[in-house]
Amino acid sequence: MGIFRKKNQEPDNQSDDEFDEEEEQRPLILFQGATNGKNANIAAYARLAEAGLIPAKELVTDGVLRRAELVKLDVKGERALINFQIDGLNYKGHRLSKQHAAAITQMLKLLSGLDVKERAKPQRGGIRAEFEEKKYEVEVVTKPVGKGVERLQLNIKDLAISLETPDDLGFSAEFKGKVRSATESKGLVIACGPPGSGTTTTAMAMLRCIDGYVYSVFTIADMMGRDIANVVPFEVNEGDELPQTIARLVRNEADVVFIDPLRSPEMAKTVLELSRQVTFMAELNAKDSIHAIHQLIKASGDPEMVSERVNCIVTQKLVRKLCEGCKMAFRPNPKILEKVGLPVETRVLYHPPPKPTGDEEDEEVPEQCTECLGLGYRGRVGMYEFIEFTDELRAAIQQGSSANDLKAIVKKARMQTLQRDGIRLVGEGKTSLEELQRVFRSKK
């Protein structure tokens, strides 16, 4: 298969790929065992290893070199297509045969301690890996699509990059203080966002904002391997429903309880009803805070209960960061500053370098930035919305006000919205106006 590099990477909704004809000889990633401790018996699968080991290493190495957080291998008929997700955008990779894709998939299943012979059920495992003295974890996810064919997804985590604490996520001191205050009274504190937007990471960081020396904080949620100081795991008795578990937690003098995401209307209603006893912190799948409010109203059938029991809602959205190695400064038009809400005294903003058009044969093509590989962006940063349940907002919810009316109240109160926080990032030179527009145009 070889490791192919695109001359100019473009998102898959803009152009097809062009690859260098020559394979580059690069060191390959070193696999260091399955995360579940089930070491692969390579000798027992010698033929599979001969066909799939090097191609599997090349695929993961390519993902690491591109800084991809996610790699997908989808089989369509007799061919398969590789897709890379880099900073939240999809980029098309090259195609290979169905048989080649199957060898890679089975090899990675073997290395991650999964059942190679099982192709009719979804499986999930992981591989510890190292490349150029950096440690990685590669989550291997397979899903059957029929006739013995599986879809492969690799989630690549650079262990040197930590996104755990409020500081890691860029929470300001004011933002941390607001989260802390929201958990001081009984009720429901929500982190919401669409799937894949970092809601779980945000919720865990919010949990770290609570003063564990003053308040008793317990968790009955799946912590996904995270161990947070002063957050005590609480064992749920077999057969107990949430009310019984909360009753036991109250007897243990719990102040705050972190629970699994509110995935069903029934669970959301139950949590709202129990929120007089403790403070709940939970995730909710919703586009933004106003949509979350209406989802809770629909689930409970009781706008008054929602208005009374919810303390705050935090929404996050990820935006790409401008590459520090190649971002370009420009003097903004004062009318643009006024339109987007930036101070008129703002002297400079930034954008990524323009991409070569290729219209002229003698056009001088700038050297590709080694930091971002010519994308103009490197990494992502969060924009955060914090909706406080003021008296005016609570009254409007009880009256059944529309989403637009609720947004008007939020705007009037100058609460921290996604748009306001995004403009702050533009003003700080962390992202561009173009990227902000792209994010708010997207369905997510």
User: Within 10 Å of residue 44's Cβ, how many Cβ atoms?
Assistant: 10
Q: Quote the CA–CA distance of 358 and 343 in Å, as a whole number.
A: 37
CATH 3.40.50.300 boundaries in the chain: 173-320+377-441
pLDDT at 360 over 60: no
DSSP 3-state assignment of 179? helix
Q: Quote the CA–CA distance of 431 and 321 in Å, as a whole number.
A: 5
Closest CA to 346 of 433, 441, 435, 436: 433
Q: Which amino acid is at 184?
A: E
**DSSP characters for 392-439?**
HHHHHHHTT--HHHHHHHHHHTT-B-HHHHHHHHHHTTSS-HHHHHHH
pLDDT at 282 over 90: yes
Closest CA to 66 of 112, 17, 127, 125: 17
User: How much is the pLDDT for 83?
Assistant: 97
Mean of the per-residue pLDDT values for the chain? Answer: 90
User: What is the number of H-type helices and E-type strands within the chain?
Assistant: 13, 16
Domain 173-320+377-441 has CATH 3.40.50.300: yes
Token readout for 251 is 């007897």
Which single residue is written with the structure tokens 């099982």?
A: 118
Q: Are 194 and 444 in contact (CB under 8 A)?
A: yes
pLDDT band at 365 (very low <50, low <70, confident <90, very high): low
User: How much is the pLDDT for 361?
Assistant: 56
Contacts of 388 (CB under 8 A, 6+ apart): 178, 182, 312, 413, 415
Closest CA to 83 of 185, 183, 11, 169: 11
Q: Kindly state the average pLDDT of the residues 243-269.
A: 96
Alpha helices for 213-363 (secondary structure H): 242-251, 265-274, 289-300, 303-309, 334-340
**What share of the chain in percent tops pLDDT 90?**
79
**DSSP characters for 5-74?**
-BSS---TTT----B-SSPP--PPPEEEEETTS----GGGGHHHHHHHHHHHHHHHHHHHHTT-SEEEEE
pLDDT at 369 over 80: yes
What order do you get walking across the sheet with 70-76 strand by strand?
30-34, 123-131, 134-146, 149-158, 70-76, 79-86, 89-97
User: How much is the pLDDT for 362?
Assistant: 53
Most confident of 247-251, 286-290, 380-384, 436-440: 247-251
| 108 CB-side CA count, 13 A | 33
User: How much is the pLDDT for 162?
Assistant: 82
pLDDT at 18 over 50: no
Rounding to the nearest 10 degrees, give the CA dihedral for residues 410, 415, 417, 423. Answer: 130
pLDDT at 11 over 80: no
User: How much is the pLDDT for 72?
Assistant: 97
pLDDT at 245 over 90: yes
pLDDT band at 7 (very low <50, low <70, confident <90, very high): very low
Range in 103-117, 123-137, 330-344 with the lowest mean pLDDT: 330-344
CATH 3.30.450.90 boundaries in the chain: 30-158
Q: Quote the CA–CA distance of 372 and 86 in Å, as a whole number.
A: 10
pLDDT at 21 over 80: no
User: How much is the pLDDT for 363?
Assistant: 58
Q: Are 80 and 95 in contact (CB under 8 A)?
A: yes
Q: Kindly state the average pLDDT of the residues 172-187.
A: 93
Q: Quote the CA–CA distance of 43 and 207 in Å, as a whole number.
A: 46
pLDDT at 405 over 70: yes
Return the bridge partners of 99, or none. none
User: How much is the pLDDT for 52?
Assistant: 96
pLDDT at 322 over 90: yes
**Which CATH architecture group holds 30-158?**
2-Layer Sandwich (3.30)
User: How much is the pLDDT for 16?
Assistant: 39
Q: What is the pLDDT of residues 119-166, one digit of tens each?
A: 999 999 999 999 999 999 999 999 999 888 999 999 999 999 888 899
Q: Kindly state the average pLDDT of the residues 292-300.
A: 95
Q: Kindly state the average pLDDT of the residues 92-121.
A: 96
